[in-house]
Amino acid sequence: MAKHHRALGVAHTLRPVQPVTLVRPHAAARAARFFVEKFPGRTLYAVKANPSPDLLQILWDNGVTHYDVASIGEVRLVARTLPESTLCFMHPVKAEEAIAEAYFTHGVRTFSLDTIEELEKIVRATKGADDLTLCVRIRVSSELSKLSLASKFGAGPGETKALLFAARQAADTLGICFHVGSQAMSPDAYAQAMERVRMAIVEAAVTVDVIDVGGGFPSAYPGMEPPPLERYFETIHRAFESLPISYSAELWAEPGRALCAEYSSLIVRVEKRRGDELYINDGAYGALFDAAHVAWRFPVTLLRAEESRAKDVAFSFYGPTCDDLDHMAGPFDLPADVDTGDYIEVGMLGAYGSAMRTAFNGFGTDETIEVSDEPMATLYAGLEDDADSGNVVRLGARRG
């Protein structure tokens, strides 16, 4: 993989015709160390956020040993990349064949479920194994998160008692898991969910060995600057300590976005300007899926050798395909004089950017360059011992 010091150097040295993904291994390493050192339990990386083998290796090298996998493809990927890692199959609805392969071929012992039907499937597929960790997923609110995950999965209040009791009979280790939604903007999301866990345990009167608070840990984006992550950890720890659970119970979390958002960004070129609309060479069917389909605002900066003196104004983007849906409303604040041929860096795309990319309409690129400058925003200030910390950029600033 090619290396450059800064994003600006990539744009003006290489003058790339296609989009270029920039990766910052030091940013992912820093995030991993932060969770391993500060979260009061075990950290499982949610592989769906970014399944890059290079990233998986960085997280492993910095202390993340457990991985939340959601498909047999992710099971195979992580088993191949990190053969000594521990895999937890946390999708609540799985093919029976996938369960069997995960258990017998890849050594997976942890599975989630949210119905009696799924529990029976796991028992059949593993041939009545007696060494299972079974995590019952309960439904909790997503009202304090930017993206809801409350409707598709999770046992409801009237279903949890029987499900927990049945899972306890089949499990060597019984857990309860939940997901508060993506980009939780308040630690209270976890406090409310843990109260729901308390109610479920008391109602079912079972011994619980694992509490898995799932994902939802945020990153920083324009207009979405969350509280410090330590506040989330403190809230979770207090709630966990007050639960009626086994004296040896473990606390787990499944961060995805928070571990990888700062890992990569994207350099795009402006191919056309029409008023306050910029036509760029990546979009809704590439790394900017979320910008188009869920109106996610990513930080942007104009990559010019001489900093523009023009006032920032709001732009929207069109991607390169022939589809009208290839539109990102933003707003994306850039200097008013941005024009055709300019390069723009779109930041915080390590989470779900590369993972959602397609080659629709013949567009797309796999070019990746490692850089050592700082991501455009960070929640891990103070852990910059191995980074070019003199180049930290806050949201809304431009890097020259």
Task: Give the pLDDT band (50/70/90) at residue 393.
Answer: very low
Q: What is the pLDDT of residue 390?
A: 38
Residue 399 belongs to a domain: no
Residue 136 belongs to a domain: yes
Same domain, 44 and 138: yes
* Closest C-alpha among 130, 138, 105, 129 to residue 214: 138
Task: Give the pLDDT band (50/70/90) at residue 387.
Answer: very low
- DSSP assignment of 143-159, as one string? TTEEE--SSSS-B-TTT
Q: Are 66 and 44 in contact (CB under 8 A)?
A: yes
Q: What is the pLDDT of residue 144?
A: 86
Could you give the percent of the chain with pLDDT greater than 70? 95
Same domain, 129 and 155: yes
Q: What is the pLDDT of residue 171?
A: 97
Same domain, 32 and 169: yes
Q: What is the pLDDT of residue 87?
A: 98
Which element (helix H / strand E) includes 40?
none
The tokens for 108 are 């997976």
The tally of domains found in the chain comes to 2
Task: Give the pLDDT band (50/70/90) at residue 151.
Answer: confident
Instruction: Note the pTM of the prediction, 2 decimals.
Output: 0.92
Least confident span in 1-5, 66-70, 256-260, 306-310: 1-5
Least confident span in 4-13, 23-32, 207-216, 264-273: 4-13
Which DSSP category does 222 fall into?
Answer: T
Rounded to a whole number, what is the largest CA-CA distance in the chain?
A: 69
Same domain, 223 and 272: no
Same domain, 138 and 278: no
**Domain end position, chosen among 260, 282, 302:** 260
Q: Strand, coil or helix: what is 113?
A: strand
Same domain, 323 and 214: no
CA distances from 66 to 36, 178, 281, 307, 320 (A): 11, 17, 36, 44, 38
User: What proportions of the chain, in percent to the nearest 5, are helix, strand and coil?
Assistant: 30, 25, 45
CB atoms inside a 10 Å sphere around CB 272: 12
Q: Is the pLDDT of residue 400 over 60?
A: no
Q: What is the pLDDT of residue 137?
A: 97
Residue 366 belongs to a domain: yes
Q: Are 126 and 136 in contact (CB under 8 A)?
A: no
Task: Give the pLDDT band (50/70/90) at residue 3.
Answer: confident
Residue 10 belongs to a domain: yes
Q: Are 302 and 8 in contact (CB under 8 A)?
A: no
The CATH number for 319's domain is 2.40.37.10
Same domain, 190 and 56: yes
Task: Give the pLDDT band (50/70/90) at residue 231.
Answer: very high
Residue numbers of the domain that contains 208? 26-260
The tokens for 231 are 């506040």
Range 9-14 contact pairs with CB under 8 angstroms and sequence separation of 24 or more: 10/267, 10/369, 10/371, 11/267, 11/303, 11/343, 11/345, 12/303, 12/305, 12/343
The predicted model gives 173-194 an average pLDDT of: 96
**Domain end position, chosen among 238, 260, 282:** 260
Distance from C-alpha of 58 to C-alpha of 52, rounded to nearest angstrom: 10
The CATH number for 131's domain is 3.20.20.10
Residue 14 CA, chain-centre distance (Å), reads 30
The predicted model gives 197-222 an average pLDDT of: 96
Same domain, 269 and 241: no
Residue 160 belongs to a domain: yes
Same domain, 231 and 298: no
* 2-4 and 368-371 beta bridge pairing: parallel
**Domain end position, chosen among 206, 229, 260:** 260
User: Is-catalytic flag, 322?
Assistant: yes
Q: Is the pLDDT of residue 15 over 80?
A: yes
Same domain, 130 and 274: no
Q: Strand, coil or helix: what is 55?
A: helix
Give me the residues paired with residue 111 across strands.
Answer: 89, 134
Q: Are 285 and 321 in contact (CB under 8 A)?
A: yes
Task: Give the pLDDT band (50/70/90) at residue 368.
Answer: very high
Q: What is the pLDDT of residue 5?
A: 85
Same domain, 133 and 281: no
Amino acid symbol at 220? A
* 300-303 and 343-346 beta bridge pairing: antiparallel
Residue 397 belongs to a domain: no
* Closest C-alpha among 150, 335, 366 to residue 264: 366
Least confident span in 60-69, 137-146, 198-207, 235-244: 137-146
Distance from C-alpha of 208 to C-alpha of 112, rounded to nearest angstrom: 14
Least confident span in 41-45, 94-98, 231-235, 365-369: 365-369
pLDDT in tens, 263-314: 999 999 999 999 999 999 999 999 999 999 999 999 999 999 898 999 999 9
